[in-house]
């Protein structure tokens, strides 16, 4: 055996998981083969065995499935997967029905398949460390816990009690596991695990899983219980409303839970295996595994960070502009222990920016999730001021003032001299090229873009923009700063709109173009939702302000004129310009845009839209509309990759999903192309270009970039 060490001493059979050449243990094919061999050895030795211990030689207990192997699966592999997972479960059942006490020594995290390995045991002992995580995150990767996780968690917690841990992938620490009865004993450190295991084995010579006991009943009742039946009657509809039918895993998990609860244990396991085998070879699972696991880990491990030996730990950071964005950044910093100077043109405005942090934290205080003392400490880290001198000694200063080049230049020149030696300056602009803004800096190599998304307290993504002169050290420091805030950094090169704003613009303007073609506004919004976007394009335009889009358009035209060129606005941009300049519809903050916002009532689409833009006899195809919204963004993302604005697929996928809401089922804008199939995608884009214009044209160099960056597993 290569991944499992088997030892038998003093009547205790110990299976130690230790996958060679890997920092963690996984359910790779070799491990599956080794488990079969280990179980056969246990059967041979069972007369000499009085207890079994499951342990890990890694810093964690077990990481779960071999996801790289999963990415290589094809639809025709489903029957093989079914056989393999059934063999795995047969091994699990052999160990847990042998009549010998089995104890899992949980020295670290056990997630997914790792938690399912832990569930083999009759008794689970864990180190009492709040950083350790247990649970079943499979649904977030487009899968279900198919190695007995659904069946066992349902029988341990009941149909209703298990739902958060299966359908929502809720993770839990050892102490919560103890309260739930999922872990039976906590010890102070890893050294105490084995003694605790041996003591339990000695005290419990005959052990049985709860579901194997004759008097076992599912907690809360089976699906035939009237209370359970009532909840289950509406559960599929609620789930469909949430997933919009785009995410098959939660529906499969619920089906496996309910179907499994109506049959015996072993039949329930087979039902679970069938659902897993179908899901694991599906495109959605591959898309989600690729991005939510591999791409996200690539960023977290610093693959997008330039090589720089140092590590930036921000102690004092200044923010220029105490509006919603500046106030949000101040909160993000203060909640992570960073001293923050929040400057605005007046003390009152700066104080109002600080008050935003109080507003964000008060609900947590009211619910007992944050103590008044910790709230006071957080707020004490924010120093509101109107004086530029208070920025003296900041390691980093971020300007978050209005999107006006002259204003940004002025505040840069005023504040930059206050930086500590070795400090750097950043702009929070969402559209203005960083290289142009850096002209106001005395040290353009120490000037970088750090683009937060609104609202800062909720949005995890931060886009770091490298200007033409920005050096590696500054980009690396910005990357470290973003990670210090607990957020996800992507790194892009300078260009108009960078990556996220540029691609976001194609989504909303394609929606506006549809309106101009006479397609009814409710149909456009529904197309966005059915494609998997969080909200429709017209609603998003209202939230971000139509007036801001027109301001960006005016700035773009001016910049083109300064270069001796003429900017040709898209049909969508021209329609938004009409909305603002002809009809004074500026967006939600200004009272209304594409929508009306009655006081005390629900928002509704502006009734005048059909009169202004509607056309009789206009036909539409819903699939075309959905494809236009997704393909337009994917094509623009690929263009960013071809132009060098983006330098990696993982930044593209994570940025598109966490920054602009590209649907999770696709795995992101580039994975949407690869998941569709490059040839199939390019053909469909060609059809859309012929119907709907140059926004869908994929130039030869863009095709080359798509093929060059295609991931291999």
Contact 334, 340 (CB under 8 A): yes
> Tokens in use for 478?
């910005």
Contact 138, 112 (CB under 8 A): yes
Contact 65, 59 (CB under 8 A): no
Residue by residue, what is the 3-state secondary structure of 48-117? HCCEEEEEECCCCCECECCHHHHHCCCHHHHHHHHHHHHHHHHHHHHHHCCCCCEEEEECCCEECHHHHH
**Phi and psi dihedrals of 103, rounded to 5?**
-125, 135
CA distance 375 to 358: 8
Which residue, among 68, 60, 55, has the nearest Cα to 124 in the 3D structure? Answer: 55
Cα atoms in the Cβ-side hemisphere of radius 13 Å centred on 360: 21
Beta strands at 185-187 and 123-127: parallel, antiparallel or unpaired: parallel
Contact 388, 413 (CB under 8 A): no
Q: In the chain, what is the greatest distance between 2 CA atoms, to the nearest angstrom?
A: 89
Alpha carbon of 268 to those of 154, 208, 258, 521, 699: distances in Å?
11, 18, 9, 47, 52
Alpha carbon of 84 to those of 78, 81, 201: distances in Å?
10, 5, 31
Strand, coil or helix: 172: strand
- The burial class, CB within 10 Å (0-12 / 13-18 / 19+), for 171 is middle
Kind plus residue range of the DSSP H or E element containing 195: helix 193-203
Contact 7, 41 (CB under 8 A): no
CA distance 666 to 650: 13
Q: Report the Cα 367 to chain-centroid distance in Å.
A: 26
Alpha carbon of 427 to those of 242, 464, 643: distances in Å?
37, 10, 23
Residues contacting residue 244 through CB under 8 Å, at least 6 positions apart: 529, 530, 532
Respond yes or no: is residue 451 known to be catalytic: yes
Residue of 122, 123, 275, 451 with catalytic role: 451
CA distance 211 to 266: 10
CA distance 407 to 402: 7
CA distance 87 to 104: 20
Residues contacting residue 121 through CB under 8 Å, at least 6 positions apart: 54, 96, 102, 103, 104
CA distance 497 to 505: 9
CA distance 712 to 710: 7
Evaluated on CA atoms 457, 462, 468, 470, the torsion sign reads: positive
> Tokens in use for 664?
């999770």
Peptide linkage before 531 cis (omega within 30 of 0): no
List, by residue number, the catalytic residues.
Answer: 451
């Amino acid at each position: 055996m290569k991944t499992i060490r088997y030892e038998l001493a003093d009547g205790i059979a110990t299976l130690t998981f230790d996958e060679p050449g890997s920092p963690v243990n996984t359910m790779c094919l070799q491990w599956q083969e080794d488990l079969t061999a280990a179980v056969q050895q246990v059967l041979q030795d069972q007369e000499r065995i009085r207890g079994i211990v499951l342990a890990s030689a890694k810093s964690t207990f077990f990481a779960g499935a071999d996801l790289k192997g999963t990415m290589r699966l094809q639809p025709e592999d489903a029957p093989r997967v079914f056989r393999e997972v059934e063999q795995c479960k047969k091994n699990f059942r052999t160990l847990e029905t042998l009549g010998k006490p089995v104890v899992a020594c949980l020295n670290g995290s056990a997630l997914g398949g790792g938690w399912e390995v832990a569930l083999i045991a009759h008794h689970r002992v864990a180190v009492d460390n709040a950083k350790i995580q247990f649970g079943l995150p499979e649904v977030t990767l487009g899968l279900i816990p198919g190695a007995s996780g659904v069946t066992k968690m349902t029988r341990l917690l009941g149909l209703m009690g298990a739902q958060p841990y299966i359908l929502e992938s809720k993770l839990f620490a050892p102490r919560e596991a103890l309260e739930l009865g999922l872990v039976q004993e906590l010890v102070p450190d890893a050294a105490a695990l084995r003694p605790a295991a041996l003591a339990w084995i000695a005290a419990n010579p005959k052990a049985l899983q709860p579901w194997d006991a004759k008097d076992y009943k599912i907690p809360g009742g089976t699906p035939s219980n009237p209370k359970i039946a009532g909840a289950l009657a509406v559960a599929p509809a609620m789930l469909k409303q949430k997933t919009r039918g785009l995410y098959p895993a939660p529906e499969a998990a619920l089906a496996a839970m309910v179907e499994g609860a109506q049959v015996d244990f072993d039949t329930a396991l087979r039902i679970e295996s069938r659902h897993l085998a179908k899901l694991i070879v599906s495109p959605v699972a591959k898309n989600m595994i690729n991005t939510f696991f591999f791409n996200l880990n690539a960023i977290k491990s610093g693959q997008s960070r330039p090589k720089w030996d140092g590590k930036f730990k921000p102690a004092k950071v200044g923010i220029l502009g105490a509006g919603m964005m500046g106030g949000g950044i101040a909160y993000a910093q203060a909640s992570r222990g960073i001293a923050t100077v929040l400057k605005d043109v007046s003390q009152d405005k700066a104080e109002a920016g600080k008050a935003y942090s109080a507003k964000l934290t008060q609900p947590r205080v009211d619910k007992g999730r944050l103590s008044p003392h910790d709230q006071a400490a957080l707020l004490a880290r924010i120093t509101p001021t109107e004086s530029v001198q208070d920025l003296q000694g900041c390691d980093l200063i971020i300007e978050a003032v209005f999107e006006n080049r002259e204003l940004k230049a002025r505040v840069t020149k005023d504040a930059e001299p206050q930086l500590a030696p070795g400090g750097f300056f950043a702009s929070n602009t969402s559209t203005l090229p960083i290289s142009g803004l850096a002209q106001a800096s005395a040290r353009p190599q120490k000037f970088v873009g750090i683009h937060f998304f609104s609202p800062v307290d909720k949005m995890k993504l931060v886009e770091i923009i490298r200007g033409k002169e920005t050096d590696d050290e500054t980009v690396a420091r910005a990357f470290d700063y973003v990670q210090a805030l607990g957020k996800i950094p992507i790194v892009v090169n300078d260009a108009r709109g960078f990556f996220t704003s540029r691609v976001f613009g194609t989504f909303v303007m394609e929606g506006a173009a549809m309106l101009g073609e006479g397609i009814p506004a409710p149909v456009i919004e529904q197309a966005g939702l059915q494609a998997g976007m969080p909200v429709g394009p017209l609603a998003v335009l209202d939230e971000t302000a139509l007036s801001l889009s027109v301001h960006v358009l005016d700035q773009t035209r001016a910049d083109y004129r300064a270069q001796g060129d003429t900017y040709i606005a898209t049909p969508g941009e021209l329609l938004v310009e009409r909305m603002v300049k002809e009809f004074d519809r500026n967006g939600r903050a200004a009272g209304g845009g594409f929508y009306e916002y009655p006081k005390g009532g629900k928002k509704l689409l502006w009734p005048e839209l059909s009169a202004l833009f509607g056309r009789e006899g206009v036909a539409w195809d819903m699939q075309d509309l959905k494809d236009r919204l997704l393909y337009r963004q994917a094509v623009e993302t690929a263009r960013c990759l071809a132009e060098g604005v983006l330098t990696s697929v993982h930044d593209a996928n994570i940025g598109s999903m966490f920054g602009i809401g590209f649907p999770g089922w696709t795995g992101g804008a580039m994975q949407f192309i690869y998941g569709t199939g490059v040839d199939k995608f390019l053909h469909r884009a060609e059809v859309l270009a012929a119907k709907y214009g140059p926004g869908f044209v994929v130039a030869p160099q863009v095709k080359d970039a798509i093929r060059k960056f295609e991931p291999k597993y």
